[in-house]
Structure 1
Amino acid sequence: MAAPRYSIIIPVYNRPQEVDELLASLVLQTVKDFEVIVVEDGSTLRCDSVVDLYRDKFSIHYFFKPNSGPGPSRNFGYAQARGEYFIVFDSDCIIPPGYLASVERSLQENGWDAWGGPDRAHENFTPVQRAMGYTMASVLTTGGIRGGKQQATRFQPRSFNMGISRNVFTQTGGFKLDRFAEDIEFSIRMRTMGFKVGLIPEAFVYHKRRTTFRQFYHQVSNFGKGRIQIGRVHPGAVKPAHWFPALFLLGSGALLVLPFISLALFGIAVGFFVVYLLAIFIDSLRQGKDLTVAFLSVPAALLQLWGYGIGFLKEKFRNHTPR
């Protein structure tokens, strides 16, 4: 059997329903030259019965392994892949029918060694999911794809939507970190080794992220921890902009004591927060045309910044012993 053009790797942990939705979306791809590799990372709620439903739809392979985290699970999938290019999706993604066609066009035009694409909120997602999707992509916060095409030369692919060539995997060995910004570390290492890494704006996915604000808080807190861990591996990777959530967190805390120091400063600080959160509300409403999502975008943005800032500061000042 001839090797496929693309190998799609899906690591999963206790999410069979999400895998079902993802696989159903892959059936609709206009480009059919691909295989799918599902890597079950020690789940107690397995998805092998879901995978069986798609064995007559496309080439699909299922592997169960002990729990090790997303980084090693993707590397396990890479090692099984037969394709020329490897693509990893998070299990909570839905893939538009033209995804692979967009990738193929961009590979022909640009010759990427590795690439990534943005994420969007599907119209069928809940208002909370759409609000979280907005904050993770908004330039008013710290999330998502910053700047679009004009920043493609310094774009860092994220693992919810990342592709690499077989040669990149052979040369790099794949992911080095188990979790917490393991994709950013991998992206930095690929560029450092001289690979051509790019953004394909048209190769977007619908990304559910988390279903509750509580889950979202824990997710972004881990992102903050991960940024510090990346800085330990790649000195200089923590830029001034990455301190913004921590400073926002400290500024939020200062509101509790400013009235006892200076009412004038308290008024200025409150005015800044009101204007900032109003800008988020207006921008979300402008983009999504949904009043409920716009309202929910405000607490989502606060949780994103506070959660990231707390994780960032906790990891920064944690007693760290180098491995």
Structure 2
Amino acid sequence: MKDTPLPCFSLIIPTLHRDEEVARLFQSIHQNTLQDLEVILIDQNEDNRLDDTCSTYAKLFPLQRVRIRPVGVSHARNHGRQFARGRLLNFPDDDCELTPGLLQQAADRFAADPGLDLLFARSVDPRSLKSSVTRFCTQAQAVTPRNVYSTTVEFTMFLKREIFDQVGPLDERLGVGTSYGAEEGADFVLRALYLGKKLHYDPELVFHHAQKTEGYDASALARAYSYGRGFGRLSLKHLVHHHQPGAAVRFVHFQCRAAAGMLLHAVRRDLPRSRFYLESILGRSAGLWNAWQDFRHQGAEAWALEGKAASP
């Protein structure tokens, strides 16, 4: 085992309550032009729905299945890191797909720039071929605190294994499966920037991920509130713990944008969409307030998760 060469990529995939999507993701991995990889599936299902899928694809590429109870996507990704042997890490969502040349393109980018620490791809809806999940920039560029939300999403991130250890684990208080349903990726990216790491975004590298926020039903409203809570906690964390005044500016900026959107769509009598913006505003405010209560009652211990990550 000691003589086994390290794979180029470790793909760490948390999954819960999905089976057909996982099969499609596995097929997209198998169809990639670069096969110097390993897959680590963090299976949080209480049933055996993935038995056949894992049995089939374990014959096609190195696949390790690790079963844990559902405790959140950030915990699952952190847990999967301890099994990863690849020189480069990626954390695909269980409902995304890799485009055929993606891994080779990412490997080539790192080979061409030895100083590159983290590389971000673009997420595209496979039907509309438009950016999904967030509004991605169309031009390649360095990632900075100002463009984090137009260049980065956690599942599109490739990074050197040692960088993950230097920046510290994903914040397990943030992300799907917690009451602060998002922002674990932005938190990690910002911490990497504070440490002076080199981050680059290249829209020519593409993941496929369906756009799921077109409607404004009850589930979309709940998601807006939960994601907003994550943003509120992120903002206070980076203001108080990392001493970054820009976090407060970013919070106010996004709240003002949401308020403008809420009023605009209310005037247009598009009340569901107006309510969507309202839920984002309320969620962000609640997340900020609850995070402040945590900090006030627990002090620095409430923010001690990342450990190795330090403010500049």
Q: TM-score, normalised by structure 1?
A: 0.74
Match of 1:171 in 2: 166
Change (3 A) 1:242 1:148: farther
Residue 15 of structure 1 aligns to a residue whose secondary structure is coil
Q: 2:123 aligns with which of 108, 111, 119?
A: 119
> Equivalents in 1 of 2:271, 2:26: separation in Å?
32
Q: CA deviation at 1:97?
A: 0.1
Q: 2:107 aligns with which of 86, 89, 104?
A: 104
Match of 1:251 in 2: 263
Q: Are 2:240 and 1:228 equivalent residues in the alignment?
A: no
Change (3 A) 1:8 1:303: farther
Match of 1:186 in 2: 188
Match of 1:33 in 2: 36
Amino acid at match of 1:26: I
Q: CA deviation at 1:207?
A: 0.7
Q: Identity, % of aligned pairs?
A: 21
Residue 244 of structure 1 aligns to a residue whose secondary structure is helix
1:123-169, Cα deviation, whole Å (9 max, x unpaired): 2xxxxxx59x76x56xxxxx332464246445543222212211112
Residue 316 of structure 1 aligns to a residue whose secondary structure is helix
Q: Are 2:261 and 1:237 equivalent residues in the alignment?
A: no
Q: Are 2:60 and 1:57 equivalent residues in the alignment?
A: yes
Q: CA deviation at 1:208?
A: 2.1
> Equivalents in 2 of 1:159, 1:299: separation in Å?
31
Q: CA deviation at 1:252?
A: 5.3
> Equivalents in 2 of 1:152, 1:217: separation in Å?
30
CA contact (8 A) 1:89 1:161 kept: yes
- For structure 2, the residue ranges without an aligned partner over 5 or more in a row are 176-181, 240-245, 296-301, 303-312
Larger Rg: 1
Matches within 5 A, 1:257-296: 270=267
Amino acid at match of 1:90: D
- For structure 1, the residue ranges without an aligned partner over 5 or more in a row are 124-129, 138-142, 256-269, 275-297
Q: CA deviation at 1:91?
A: 0.6
Matches within 5 A, 1:17-166: 17-44=20-47, 46-111=49-114, 112-123=116-127, 143-146=134-137, 148-150=139-141, 152-154=143-145, 155-156=147-148, 157-166=152-161
Change (3 A) 1:151 1:114: closer
CA contact (8 A) 2:42 2:68 kept: yes
For the aligned residues, what is the CA RMSD? Answer: 2.9
Amino acid at match of 1:206: H
Q: CA deviation at 1:218?
A: 2.9
Amino acid at match of 1:38: L
**72-81 or 151-160, larger mean C-alpha shift:** 151-160
Q: TM-score, normalised by structure 2?
A: 0.76
